[in-house]
Amino acid sequence: MERDDQLDRQYECGLVADGYRIRVTVFTSDRSKVEALARQRASERMKQAYGIEKAPAEFVVFEVTEKILH
């Protein structure tokens, strides 16, 4: 994932879908895109790591925390 440290911010997100909980990190300079990016990333991670296919729309974001980049 490409990012520009001067513009992007890091967000840690907690999501849930059908009882599965997952945490993902996303980078974006546009705060309004955080939840959509997190849902997409969670869908990809569930498939890659666990072989479980969930559509991004199935995930509910229950937590978003902005992380400070040093």
DSSP alpha helix (H) spans, the chain: 34-45
Average pLDDT of 13-31? 95
Average pLDDT of 16-28? 95
Q: Record the pTM.
A: 0.84
- φ/ψ bin of 51: left (φ > 0), alpha (ψ from -120 to 50), beta (otherwise): left
Find the helix or strand (DSSP H, E) in which 20 lies.
Answer: strand 20-28
What pLDDT score was predicted for residue 47?
96
Please determine, for residue 66, whether its predicted confidence score (pLDDT) is greater than 50.
yes
What pLDDT score was predicted for residue 33?
96
Q: What digits encode the pLDDT tens for the residues 35-57?
A: 999 999 999 999 999 999 999 99
Q: Are 15 and 21 in contact (CB under 8 A)?
A: yes
